[in-house]
A and B are shown apart, each in its own frame.
Chain A
Amino acid sequence: MKLSPALLTLLLALILAVIAFLSLFIGAADLGAGDILAALAGHAKETTEIIVVELRLPRMVMGILAGATLGLSGAALQGLLRNPLADPGIIGVSSTAGLGAVMAIYFGLSSVFPLSIQIMSMGGAIFATLILSFISSRDSSVLTLILAGIGISSLATAAIALTMNFAPNPMSLQDMIMWLMGSLDNRTLNDILLAGPFILGGWLIMRGVGQGLEACSLGEDTARTLGIDLKRLRMKVILGSAISVGATVSVCGAIGFVGLVVPHMVRSLIGYAPGRLLLPSALLGAILLTLADLVTRIPLGHGQLRLGVVTAFIGSPLFLYIIYQTRKAMR
């Protein structure tokens, strides 16, 4: 089945709107559509308004921002690296952002100043981004970038393990593990104000890369003879995803699989063109993450489902199914 990119985009946008609205309904407190609308308009009871505007709305917005970021950068990185296995994790930013968060918990900063996790985590992401931009400014090959990303990622993962190994007490170890599994719980307007500008900034950096990614499907040499400035294209995709993904991870924790899976779900629908993939992937990423966040709200006896776990559980079987379906075309 092949859809026109415009139709697919419209369809996904509609689905996202429905699911986003749905996510305002579902939660511990039982609220009706009237309550929600009244709260959004600003004339509901105070408790209702707090639940909707200060708890559920930021959570919804953050979910959309995070999911769209992961879907968009997954699609852009797969196009740039011409590798269907690339995902935002491959450039190492997720791991260094995770390291920043774990360190904030380790040193007890998070109990003194709650936003310190996000800020330290953003610092980790920026650190990796600087290394990546240094490497890509030297006009090195895409392969060097991937390998550098894997190196950065392994180092950060080792440092995370080290930090957890020497965690001061079981409580902080549990905090670290929980944070690394990802969540949208209790995200407030402050989180959005902190991460939002970086996320939107990353998106802006990535704008207009579609045509370059299309050209790259014919190989880098041919892309250059089509007038594409590869160094600039690489810079835009790598920096744009590093900044937006770093900001996402700093607020939501590590959320696996969305960036990897979403482009595959869209690809065969739009005829495999890497440029047309971007917007639909962003929308589908937002849909998937918002859905996964709804699943985490299912009350369980003890403990709570974590977002990263749910996305992986939804994503992996879908991924296997899609790979099975498209294995012939990709050969």
Chain B
Amino acid sequence: MTLEARDIHVSVREQAILKGVSLTVPKGQLVGLIGPNGAGKSSLLRTILGLMDRQSGKILLGGEDLSDWTINQRARKISYAAQGAPVHWPLDVRHIISLGRIPWLDPWQKISEADRQLVDQAMVRTDSLHLADRLVTTLSGGERACVMLARAIVSGADYLCADEPIASLDPYHQLQVMDILRSLAREGHGVLIVLHDLALAGGYCDKLVLMHQGRIVNSGSVEDVLTPENLDRAYHIKARQKGEKTGPFLSPWQRSGKPRHET
């Protein structure tokens, strides 16, 4: 089973944003969508989720055209962690995460005991169980990121799309979020994330898709995509690669333990 975008064209007010983009997210893989600001990464993600209208192209899931699906059927298959993850009311953490079960509930239905257990599991998995009764407004950026990730995975959808899930997090929480996303992929989920951190993208993703000006420059394995030529073409940067010794070098690589939660 794969989630597939095929030859997507999107224009907003005559301005072409995506110009014939195709990509596949197989189950069991962590796919990183990279590229400079304005390359069309978020637009592609939002188009796949049905949040943006497209001029042409298809979104397919296991070969089925998603335009034929109801919005609720999609919600059960693909979940979404939005960029910045806004929360408009000072809700408590457990309540926010349980909102992720909505695709499985009728409009009047309350969440069941089974749903509650799934919420607990999602909290354990994202190391946010100790935050259950806190108001979202009192969380740090890292705690909030974990809570919003738990909200996205609690639906149990096969595919997860996350827009910059590690933006503005400290190194520990960046690694934590990436660890969780990778373990989801190992369990058989298809995970598509927009990333700016090339080192983490290279270290964690099974596959990278590099975008530039509404097109895909290259996609494939980390080695194939993060080449000096591609980085120059898309980002106009030179990067230090493994083995080059040109001064001090530091890149957070692995979590060394767990911070203790004061309760």
Contact = CB atoms under 8 A, between A and B. Distances in A.
B250 interface: no
Interface string A314-331: 000000000000000111
Nearest to B91: A272
B86 interface: yes
Interface stretch (A22-30, A130-138, A180-188, A209-217): A209-217
B88 interface: yes
A271 B132 CA distance: 13
B124 interface: no
A254 to B, nearest CB: 28
A273 B82 contact: no
Interface residues of A, number: 27
Interface in A190-231: 208, 210-212, 214-219, 221-222, 224-229
A274 interface: yes
A297 interface: no
Contacts, number: 88
A226 B135 contact: no
A208 B108 contact: yes
B51 A217 contact: no
B91 A224 contact: no
B96 interface: yes
Interface residues of B, number: 36
A226 B103 contact: yes
B231 interface: no
A82 B88 contact: yes
Interface in B198-234: none
Contacts of B11: none
B187 to A, nearest CB: 21
A304 to B, nearest CB: 40
A316 to B, nearest CB: 23
A226 B89 contact: no
Contacts of B114: none
B88 A224 contact: no
Interface in A279-331: 329-331
A211 B105 contact: yes
A227 B72 CA distance: 4
A221 B91 contact: no
B25 to A, nearest CB: 15
Nearest to A277: B89
Nearest to B105: A211
Interface in B92-124: 92, 95-96, 99-100, 102-103, 105, 107-108
A289 to B, nearest CB: 25
B54 interface: no
Given A211-B102, A211-B105, A331-B137, A219 B82 contact: yes
Nearest to B72: A227
B46 interface: yes
A222 B103 CA distance: 12
A273 B95 contact: yes
Contact of B87 (A211, A218, A226): A218
B47 interface: no
B50 interface: yes
A272 B137 CA distance: 12
Nearest to B101: A226
A225 B89 contact: no
B90 A272 contact: yes
Contact of B79 (A225, A228, A229): A225
B100 A227 contact: no
B75 A226 contact: yes
B56 to A, nearest CB: 20
B74 A226 contact: no
B153 interface: no
B102 A271 contact: no
A214 B102 contact: yes
Contacts of A208: 107-108
A281 to B, nearest CB: 14
Contacts of B71: 224, 227-229
B144 interface: no
Contacts of B137: 329-331
B107 A211 contact: yes
10 contacts: A218-B86, A221-B82, A222-B85, A224-B51, A225-B78, A226-B102, A227-B73, A272-B90, A273-B91, A329-B135
Given A221-B80, A227-B71, 4 more contacts: A211-B102, A222-B80, A225-B51, A226-B102
Which 6 pairs across A and B sit closest by C-beta, in order of nearness?
A227-B75, A227-B72, A225-B80, A82-B88, A208-B107, A272-B89
